Structure 1
Amino acid sequence: MGTVQARSLEPLPVSGPDLSPSLDEAETVEVEPETKQEVLENKRVIVQHVHIDGVSRTKDDLLVYEIADVFKAKNLIEVMKKSHEARERLLRLGIFRNVEVLIDTTMGEEALAEGLDVIFEVKEMRRLTGSYNTMVGNNEGSMVLGLKLPNLFGRAEKITFQFSYGTKETSYGLSYFKPQPGNFDKNFAVNLYKVTGQFPWSSLRETDRGLSTEYNFPIWKTHHTLKWEGVWRELGSLSRTASFSVREESGHSLKSSISHTMSVDTRNSAILPKRGALLKINQELAGYTGGDVSFLKEDVELQFNSSLLWDSVLSASLWGGLLVPIGDKSSSIADRFYLGGPTTVRGFSMYSIGPQSEGDYLGGEAYWAGGLHFYTPLPFRPGQGGFGDLFRTHFFLNAGNLCNLNYGDGPNAHLQKLAECIRWSYGAGIVLRLGNIARLELNYCIPMGVQSGDRICDGVQFGAGIRFL
C-alpha cells in the first residue's frame, strides 16, 4: 500500500531496492580531447568477436540478448558506448557481482585490419547468499534473516526468502522472480507472505496471509503492472482503550482483487530528483474474483522537478485517491486512505487527519494532497564533491484533505467537501539522501488549517522513507 494508507503490508520485494547508480552517477564514456574523438568517430571498425569470461551457470541465450548491440557498432566510440551499455544490462540482471570490459584488436588468421574483440570479464553470484540484520524501532526489536538463490536456472530467475522475528511480531515472505530473456522489464513474480503490523494511530493490529502474482511489462514510454492478490486478513484491537468503531472492524475477511498500475517516470532519480516528471495511476477492483470485500479504488500520483540556478531544484507533487464500496457493505478500515505525517502533510502527526472516533483515526474514502518544495545546496557548500553533496536544504509548503463521501450527492458536492477544512503547513529543514534507497528529513514545521481532532507536530519533525509528497 502507499504512504497515505493505513499500512504497508506488502509481500517481500522480488527485486529489492535499486542499488545501481543513477544516470547522473553512472560512469560515462568520454574520449579527450575533442579532436581525437572526431578521428575515432571517423575510423571504421568491425566487432568480430565478443567473449564472456567467468560464466559457469548462466545460459548462453540470455547473454546473447544482452550483448547483441555491441556487434552493431561502426566506430571505436560506438564500441565503447555500446560495451558500457551492455555492461550495465548485465549488472542489472542481478546475477553478477562484477563485470569488467576489455577492448582489443582481433588476432589470428581470420583477423581483419579493422577488427576488434570485446571481452566481458564477469564474476557470478554464489548459488546461495544470506544476510542477517537486527532492527530497533517503535519500541520493538527484531531479527531479520534473508536467503537468496540468484540465477536459479541460469536465466536470471531468483528465489528470495525473508524471515523476521521480533519482540511483538513474526513475519515472512517467499518470492519467485522470472524475467523475460532479452527484455528485463518484462518479468513475472509470485509472492507468498505473512505480515503482521501494528497501527497505534488507529489502535489496530492486522495480520495478512496472502498469495499474489504479478506481470510487469513496458508499452512505449509507460510501464505497466498487472496483479492478482488473495489475502486473508485478521484485524484486532491493539489496546483495551480502542474505540467501538475499531472494535466493530475486528475479525476475519478475505480479499481477492485484481489491479493495474501504469507509470511514466522521466526523473533522473527516484529519491531526490533534480529534473523530470512522474505520473502513476493505480486501479484496484476487489470482489469479482472471490472474497467478501468489494470495492473499486483509484489512486493517482503526479510530480514535476526542474533544475534552477546555483544547483537548486523546484519540485511540485499532487496526489489523489477515491475508494468506492460495491454492494451494501461499507469500506474496511484496512482499505481506506490515511493522511498526515512527515512523508505527506508535514506538521501533523502520523495519519492523524480526517475521520476519527475516540482518538482513533479511521481513514477516509477520498483524499487529495499537494506539495511545493525548493531544494538548495547547503550554505557555503561544505564537503562539496563528497559527503556534503548528499545533503540539501529544504523549504516546503504542503496542503491536503481527507474525508468520506456520500456517493448519492454528485461530483459537485464531492469537490466541495474535499475543498472544505483544508489542512496545510510550511517550514524548512535538511534532507539527507541515502543512495538510491531512501531519504531522511529533519524539518521545522508550522501546521495551519488545523481542525478539531487533528494531532499536530508543531516544531521539529523527523521523517524517513522512500515516497514523499
Structure 2
Amino acid sequence: MGQVHARSLDPLPMSGPDFNPPAHDTELIEVEPETKQEILENKDVVVQHVNIDGLGRTKDDLVMYELADVFKAKSLIDVMKKCHEAREKLLRLGIFKRVEVLIDTCEGEDALPNGLDVTFEVAELRRLTGSYNTMVGNNEGSMVLGLKLPNLFGRAEKLTFQFSYGTKETSYGLSFFKPQPGYFERNFSINLYKVTGQFPWSSLRETDRGVSAEVNFPIWKTYHTLKWEGVWRELSCLARTASFNIREESGHSLKSSLSHAMVIDTRNAAILPKRGALLKINQELAGYTGGDVSFLKEDFELQFNKELLWDSVLSSSLWGGMLIPIGDKPSSIADRFYLGGPTSVRGFSMYSIGPQSEGDYLGGEAYWAGGLHLYTPLPFRPGRGGFGDLFRTHFFLNAGNLCNLNYGEGPKAHLQKLAECIRWSYGAGIVLRLGNIARLELNYCFPMGVQSGDRICDGVQFGAGIRFL
C-alpha cells in the first residue's frame, strides 16, 4: 500500500471553540512506493565489468594490466580503494591528462544482486607536447625546454628531447623510455646527450658526448639500476691562469663503463623527511668494455630520520667513496670525488677541500662526510598549517675529509690518512622546502679544522639543490 500524506494549505487551530474541521482545504497526495536499495558497504560484492572510455591509441592490454586488481575487490570499500590505486597507476604512466572513476550497480540480464560496474573515463595526452620550466641542481639553476612524444607506440613508450641552459652547465639530449606493461618500475631507456659544464673551482671546462642504456627493476624492497655508458670527454682550461696540473689533464678521453646502483628508501618524503631511512650504493667499472680510462669506483649514501617532540626531526647522514685506478695510468680529474660547499660540508666553499694546485682543486680518490641535523618549526609557528610549514629551523654539525691514497699501502694506512686533518663545521639557519623537488638553505656557518689550501665561507652561506649531506 502506498503512503498518503495530508498537506494543510492554511494553519488552523487544533483546539478551542473556533476549531472546525476543514471541508475542502485539504489536498491528498498519493506517493509512489519508495524503492528500497540494499546497503552494500559491509556486504560482499562482485565487480562484473570494468569499462574504459576515451582510449584512442593506447593498447587495451596495457590498461588491463593496471586494472587487474579491481576485479579482486570483495567489498564496496575495497572496490573504492582498488579503483583509487588503479587511477594512480594510470596517471603514473604519463599518457593521460585526466582519469575519472565511476562505480555503479550492474544492470542487464547477467547482473548479479551484488554486482558492480566500474567505468574509467580517461583523456589521453596529445601526440606531441612541449614544456618550459626551471630546474634546481646542487647550487645551480637552469632553464629547461622540452619536447615529448608520449605513448609513442601505444604502450606508454616515451621519446623526449630536452635542452637545458644553466649557470654552470648546458646540455641537450634525446631519450627513449619503455616500461614493462603491468610493472612500471621495470623499465628500459636509451639516451643520447651532449653536456658542457664549467667547474670554476678547478678552472676546468668539460664537454661530454655520450650514449647510455639502462635497465631499472625492483627486487623485494630494493630498487636497482644497471647501466652501460660510452662517453667521449673533452677537458679544457677555463681560465688562462689555470695551473699546470689542470693543463696536463686537458685533452680528450674515451670512457666505457658498466655501473650498478641499489636504493632502499623507507622515508616518508624525499625532501625534509620526518622519518625513515635511505641507503644508496653505487659501483662503476670502467675500461673492460673499451675506452682509454680504467678504474673501479665505489660510493654510498646513508641517512636516518627520527621524529621527536614538538614536530622536530633529528637527521643523521654518512657519505663515503673510493676510486681505484686499474693499470699504470693515474685517475682522471673528471672521475674523482669532490667535497665541500653548502650541500655537503657547510662553511667551506664549493668543492674546495682536499688536494689543490695553485688554487685549482683536483679532487680526491677517497672521501667520507657525515652530518647531524636538527630541524624544528619556526619560532612561534607563523603561518602554521599553510605557507609557514614549508620553512624549518636548521641546526647542524658536519665533518669530512678527502684525499688521495697510495694503493701500495694497506687498509690501515688508508683509514689513518682519512682520519687525519678532518674538516668540520657547525651552525644554524633556515630551510625552505620547494615541494618534493628541491630545497633552499640559508645558514650561518662556523668552519673548523681548516687546512692549508682550503677555501672557507665563514658566516652566511646559501645553498640550493636536491642532495644534501
Structure 2 length-normalised TM: 0.89
Which whole-Å deviations, capped at 9, do the CAs of 1:149-184 have from their partners, x for residues lacking one? 111111110011012468997531000000000000
SS of 2:414's partner is helix
- The code of the aligned residue for 1:111 comes to A
Please state how far the C-alpha of 1:131 moved relative to its aligned partner.
Answer: 2.2
Please state how far the C-alpha of 1:143 moved relative to its aligned partner.
Answer: 6.2
Runs of 4 or more consecutive aligned structure 1 residues displaced over 2 Å after TM superposition: 39-42, 131-138, 140-145, 163-171
1:326 aligns with 2:335: no
SS of 1:57's partner is coil
Kept in 2, the 8 Å contact 1:97–1:123? The answer is yes
- What is the aligned partner in structure 2 of residue 398 from structure 1? 398
Percent identity for Structure 1 against Structure 2: 87
Q: Kindly report which structure 2 residues correspond to 1:64-83, keeping only aligned pairs within 5 A, or say none.
A: 64-83=64-83
Q: Kindly report which structure 2 residues correspond to 1:273-284, keeping only aligned pairs within 5 A, or say none.
A: 273-284=273-284
- What is the aligned partner in structure 2 of residue 236 from structure 1? 236
Provide the rounded CA distance (Å) in 1 between the counterparts of 2:218 and 2:410.
Answer: 36
- What is the aligned partner in structure 2 of residue 416 from structure 1? 416
Kept in 2, the 8 Å contact 1:283–1:297? The answer is yes
The range that moved more, 108-117 or 359-368, is 108-117
Provide the rounded CA distance (Å) in 1 between the counterparts of 2:352 and 2:143.
Answer: 30
Kept in 2, the 8 Å contact 1:210–1:229? The answer is yes
- What is the aligned partner in structure 1 of residue 335 from structure 2? 335
Provide the rounded CA distance (Å) in 2 between the counterparts of 1:319 and 1:380.
Answer: 34
Please state how far the C-alpha of 1:271 moved relative to its aligned partner.
Answer: 1.4
Kept in 1, the 8 Å contact 2:340–2:352? The answer is yes
1:292 aligns with 2:299: no
Q: Kindly report which structure 2 residues correspond to 1:2-401, keeping only aligned pairs within 5 A, or say none.
A: 42-132=42-132, 144-164=144-164, 171-401=171-401
Structure 1 length-normalised TM: 0.89
- What is the aligned partner in structure 1 of residue 5 from structure 2? none
Provide the rounded CA distance (Å) in 2 between the counterparts of 1:304 and 1:135.
Answer: 27
Number of aligned residues: 431
Please state how far the C-alpha of 1:270 moved relative to its aligned partner.
Answer: 1.1
The range that moved more, 116-125 or 264-273, is 116-125
Greater C-alpha Rg = 2
**Long gaps (5+) in structure 2:** 1-38
SS of 2:79's partner is helix
Please state how far the C-alpha of 1:141 moved relative to its aligned partner.
Answer: 10
Please state how far the C-alpha of 1:416 moved relative to its aligned partner.
Answer: 0.4
Which whole-Å deviations, capped at 9, do the CAs of 1:172-202 have from their partners, x for residues lacking one? 1000000000000100000000000000000
SS of 1:152's partner is coil
Relative contact order, higher structure (CA 8 A, sep 6+): 1
Provide the rounded CA distance (Å) in 2 between the counterparts of 1:301 and 1:169.
Answer: 25
SS of 1:42's partner is coil
- What is the aligned partner in structure 2 of residue 427 from structure 1? 427
Please state how far the C-alpha of 1:133 moved relative to its aligned partner.
Answer: 5.1
Please state how far the C-alpha of 1:42 moved relative to its aligned partner.
Answer: 3.3
Please state how far the C-alpha of 1:326 moved relative to its aligned partner.
Answer: 0.3
Kept in 1, the 8 Å contact 2:163–2:172? The answer is yes
**Long gaps (5+) in structure 1:** 1-38
- The code of the aligned residue for 2:374 comes to F
Which whole-Å deviations, capped at 9, do the CAs of 1:204-224 have from their partners, x for residues lacking one? 000000000000011111111
Please state how far the C-alpha of 1:308 moved relative to its aligned partner.
Answer: 1.2
Kept in 1, the 8 Å contact 2:137–2:466? The answer is no
Provide the rounded CA distance (Å) in 1 between the counterparts of 2:137 and 2:64.
Answer: 46
Kept in 1, the 8 Å contact 2:134–2:141? The answer is yes
Provide the rounded CA distance (Å) in 2 between the counterparts of 1:168 and 1:323.
Answer: 25
Provide the rounded CA distance (Å) in 2 between the counterparts of 1:191 and 1:222.
Answer: 24
Provide the rounded CA distance (Å) in 1 between the counterparts of 2:234 and 2:214.
Answer: 24
Q: 1:170 to 1:368 in 2, by over 3 A?
A: closer
Provide the rounded CA distance (Å) in 2 between the counterparts of 1:409 and 1:290.
Answer: 29
